[in-house]
Amino acid sequence: MEKIYESLKYLSDMELENFKKILQKALWSKGFRLVLRNQDETLERLKLAEVMEQLFDRQSLQVTMDILEEMKRPDLQKKLFDSSSASERQPFEHPERGEHVEKDSSEWTRVEPTITDVDEAPIYSFQSAAGQFECNVSGLRWVCEDKLCFKYQFCSWEGHMERMKTIGYRSAGPLINITVITGKIKEVYLPHWICIDDIPNLLESFSVLHINDSGDVLEKVSEVTATHVRLTDPVFSPLAAVISSIFRVKVTCNVLIYYQPHMPFLKLHVYLILHDPALQQSVHKEESSIGYEMIKKPRPDKYLRMQQGFTLKAAIETAKVQPKKLTLRYDSQDPNFYEVFIENPTRDFDLTLLCADSKKKEAKLHPVWTCEIRRDDHPKSGLVEAAASSGGATCLSSPNSKIFQTPKTRILPELRGEIDP
């Protein structure tokens, strides 16, 4: 990196722009696209050298010399040549892109990660021999030919989504920071949440985004399956599947449900979010900080359309739900939620998520997800706990039952005249 920087600092601003254009052209022919962020003059050259080292490792010296040759700067080319050993000068080649062939799910060995820092951003660690593996937490898949040790964390998309929009891309999967400790990953399959049924040109529509301090690199993918995108001989940094901006694609989602304990009523916070583990961790941390507890339920089994409005209904007479409608959005890292308030939760009930068919002018709402909320899902709230804590009796025979204290003396109407006031 230092050797490349020494060459770049001798370029004028105009020559530097030319250098970046030639690099962009070379990268795209090999399956990459570089998007540098604005930096001051010195920092820009340093960060550009850093990006080249991350992408090409020791081949970065040869790539730099090839570009300097095209720019007709033999002086800098010779300077760089003299400072590098013959062993460092290797031709810049990228492995051949694979065909669009999806492996059967039975070919993957599902493995459990070791999880540390559970209360913050969890770190997932693996040690594996040669083979094809799938993490049973995230669905991340990898292929290795020898012993391997690596770790990863989910990262927030906050601060990155707006930047992606400016270059015509949207997030298509969780942002994952992978660090290889020992060994090498031959292939990595990154999970994505896009329904690919309506996307005609899969390989052209999908890319993998690499994020670093100086800029973003978009890499062409080798393969797109219903659940993953594949990279061969991957370079690791925070990375994720992205898709060129397609209006209102369908995606996999999570419904997160939290309740407020130690209350005589039942209050729920219900979130509809993308199937993004980092966002789920953020919501869980926020809800836990204010004392709410999670009710775990299955997520929707079907794809839901982005920018679609959804309505939540609770099938119990005393339920109040607000707001009336929420829109499923890409860019919300602070997602809104439904608040469900039920004064007397005396029985089980269903929560149902509904949306309208946007292709019809007068569309009726139809259900896309339903779950049953049972009394044992929220054991620390509602009438049962309130009665137990007050020492009184509770009547649960009617939806309108109320908590009452049993009086010490009961006065019957027919004996009223015989009792001394």
Q: CA 205 to CA 212: how far, in whole Å?
A: 22
Name the pLDDT band for 408 (thresholds 50, 70, 90). Answer: very low
Can you list the positions of beta strands (E) in 50-158?
A: 109-111, 114-116, 123-128, 131-135, 141-144, 148-155
Residue 90, pLDDT above cutoff 70:
no
User: What does the CA dihedral 94, 95, 96, 97 come to, rounded to 10 degrees?
Assistant: -90
d(C-alpha 373, C-alpha 316), whole Å: 11
Between 284 and 67, the higher pLDDT residue: 284
CA-wise closest residue to 277 among 369, 149, 177: 177
Taken in order of first residue, the domains within the chain and their CATH numbers are: 2-88 (1.10.533), 105-244 (2.60.220), 250-377 (2.60.40.2660)
pLDDT at 111: 92
**% pLDDT > 70, the chain:** 76
Q: d(Cα 330, Cα 162) in Å, to the nearest integer?
A: 10
- The runs of H, that is alpha helices, within 84-184 are 161-166
Residue 307 in contact with residue 248, Cβ under 8 Å?
yes
Query: Given a cut of 50, is residue 402 above it in pLDDT?
Result: no
Q: What is the pLDDT of residues 25-59, one digit of tens each?
A: 776 666 666 666 655 566 677 777 777 776 666 67
Mean pLDDT estimate for the chain: 80
Task: Please report the DSSP string for 303-322 in residue order.
Answer: -EETT-EEEEEE-STTEEEE
**Of residues 131, 98, 62, the one with CA closest to residue 233:** 98
**What pLDDT was estimated at residue 84?**
62
Residue appearing with tokens 């999670």: 294
Whole-model pTM?
A: 0.71
Query: For the chain, what percent of residues have pLDDT higher than 90?
Result: 44
**Mean pLDDT along residues 48-72:** 77
Q: Starting at the earlier edge strand, list the strands of the sheet with 109-111.
A: 109-111, 131-135, 141-144, 187-191, 228-232, 223-224
415 Cβ partners below 8 Å, 6+ apart?
A: none
* Highest mean pLDDT out of 18-22, 268-272, 273-277, 362-366: 268-272
Residue 319 CB neighbours (<10 A): 18
Query: Hey, what long-range contacts does 205-208 have (CB within 8 A, 24 or more apart)?
Result: 205/243, 205/244, 205/246, 206/172, 206/241, 206/242, 206/243, 206/244, 207/33, 207/169, 207/241, 207/242, 207/243, 207/244, 208/239, 208/240, 208/241, 208/242
pLDDT of 22 reads 80
**Where is average pLDDT lowest: 115-124, 331-340, 386-395?**
386-395
| Length of the chain as a residue count | 421
Q: How far is CA 81 from CA 15, 18, 238, 364, in A?
A: 19, 21, 32, 70
418, two tokens? 């015989």
Per-residue pLDDT tens over the stretch 356-378:
765 555 668 899 999 999 999 99
CA distance 143 to 233: 10
pLDDT in tens, 304-313: 999 899 999 9
In tens, the pLDDT along 143-190 reads: 999 999 999 999 999 888 888 888 889 999 999 999 999 999 999 999
Task: Give the gyration radius of the chain's Cα atoms.
Answer: 29
CA dihedral 67, 73, 79, 82 (to 10 degrees): 60
Q: Is the pLDDT of residue 387 over 50?
A: no
